[in-house]
Amino acid sequence: MHYTKIERESCIACGLCQLIAPNLYEYDENGIAYTVQDNNAGITPISEDEFDSFKKAYTSCPTGAIKRSTTPFE
């Protein structure tokens, strides 16, 4: 299992993750990203179907704000 969340203070609102993985990431009125499924809690496993999109978004984020873990975030 893999989990993801956004380190929001590192996000520069470029919009890339939402374009690449719209089922995983959304952004607020300031353009700062968060995870759709659990409102950035990072406790919902990334589904098989979304994993390629996740990897693309993860490697595309210019600031490393997308975090990944094999255990749920606290």
Interface positions with ligand SF4 (CB under 6 A): 6, 11-17, 33, 61-63, 65-66
Given a contact cutoff of 8 angstroms between Cβ atoms, the answer to whether 42 and 68 are in contact is no
Closest distance to ligand SF4 from the beta carbon of 53 (Å): 12
Q: What whole-number distance in Å separates Cα of residue 10 and Cα of residue 15? A: 13
Closest distance to ligand SF4 from the beta carbon of 54 (Å): 12
Closest distance to ligand SF4 from the beta carbon of 70 (Å): 20
Torsion of CA 3, 17, 37, 43, to 10 degrees: 20
Q: In the complex with ligand SF4, which residue's Cβ is closer, 11 or 46? A: 11
